[in-house]
Amino acid sequence: MEPRRFESTESQTERWELQIEKIVIGGTLNALLYCFRTSTPIFIPKPIIPFELETTPKDYSFIGLPVGVERHYVWERLYFVLSMAGLKINSLPLNNWRIEDNLLTFITENNKKITKSFDKVVYFDKELKEYKAYDWFNVLSGKKHEISVLHGDSKFVKKLLFHTPRDPRSYKGGKNVVSISYFNETEVDNFEYAPGIARLKTLEMMRSAGIRGRANGFIDRKKGTRRYYALKIEHYYREIKPKIDSLHSIDKILSMKQDKGRTWKISKSLFQQQRDST
């Protein structure tokens, strides 16, 4: 994640200068967790929030979250604690930023220019030329079943996640589905991997798993043999996100010794009380 250059005049902006020993440049869960663990200030050029349906088997009870929680909640909690501890250098969003001669300079949304001097910088995240595509589908017939995940046999529609819509206006019982695919740089705009093709493969995987459309009376009422409508889904939208290679894995960061500074004290104060009261 390389800094971007910009031009600005002192008449257009305010300039503040602060000295920092070490800063981390990053926006992933890994980067935030590392800064929590080590009490290191973080500059976030762009927040890289985990996919909203991804859960984690890791133990984040030290920030008041249960095992199995969705990973975006972990990101949000760490972001909150780092902010409370004064370790989040910048507010979001940013207009621009750069690093030059051990100076981090950025312009805030309200056009203030802030300069921070540092001794060492750690670039924590690197975007790869590989992508994850999330195709969201509304299920119109075939919403009611007990399946939560299906795995495919190729990187295109590699996984199906069935979920209850969070928006009560779109929830009428049952589950919608999102497919997850993996692309390289040349495949992103390839027609063979278009949302319409993802829809057909999603339907095929659902049928193979025994998911059927909504009930439509009986073929033989005495035997209890039901008749069903065909499965029907419609494509809602596609998200494409670059894969990120972080400096350290989550497992490695969790194995690091916890600094007992501001982040730890704030978490203990806020979330230990929360656990004791439940």
Helices (H), the chain: 29-38, 71-84, 195-208, 250-255, 262-277
* Residue spans of the chain under pLDDT 50: 1-17, 276-278
Report, in angstroms and rounded to the nearest whole number, the Rg of the chain calculated over CA atoms.
24
* 101 vs 116: CA distance, rounded Å: 11
What was the pLDDT predicted at 40? 96
Which one, of 225, 246, 240, 136, lies nearest residue 183 by Cα? 240
The three-state DSSP-derived secondary structure of 103-161 is EEEEEECCCCEEEEEEEEEEECEEEEEEEEEEEEEEEEECCCCCCCEEECCCCCCCEEE
pLDDT of amino acid 5 = 42
**What is the predicted pLDDT for the residue at 4?**
44
Q: What is the pLDDT of residue 240?
A: 95
pLDDT in tens, 127-169: 999 999 999 999 999 999 999 999 999 999 999 999 998 765 5
Task: Enumerate the domain spans of the chain.
Answer: 15-124+247-273, 129-243
- For the domain spanning 129-243, the CATH number is 3.30.70
pLDDT of residue 229: 83
The closest of 74, 143, 98 to 3, measured between CA atoms, is: 98
Compute how many other C-beta atoms are within 10 angstroms of the C-beta atom of residue 78. 25
Look at residue 10 in the predicted model and tell me its pLDDT. Answer: 44
pLDDT at 54: 92
The helices-and-strands tally (H runs, E runs) of the chain is 5, 12
Q: Enter the pTM of the model.
A: 0.84
15-124+247-273, superfamily in CATH? Answer: FAD/NAD(P)-binding domain (3.50.50.60)
In degrees, rounded to 5, the angle at the alpha carbon of residue 276 between the alpha carbons of residues 273 and 260 is 50
**Predicted pLDDT of residue 278:** 45
d(CA 115, CA 90): 11
How much is the mean pLDDT over the chain? 88
How far is CA 253 from each of CA 24, 37, 132, 250, 257, rounded to the nearest angstrom? 14, 7, 24, 5, 9
The pLDDT, as a whole number, for residue 15 is: 44
pLDDT of residue 216: 73
Can you give the pLDDT at residue 14? Answer: 43
Per-residue pLDDT, 11: 41
C-alpha neighbours within 13 Å on the C-beta side of residue 253:
21
- Cβ neighbours around 165 below 10 Å, total: 16
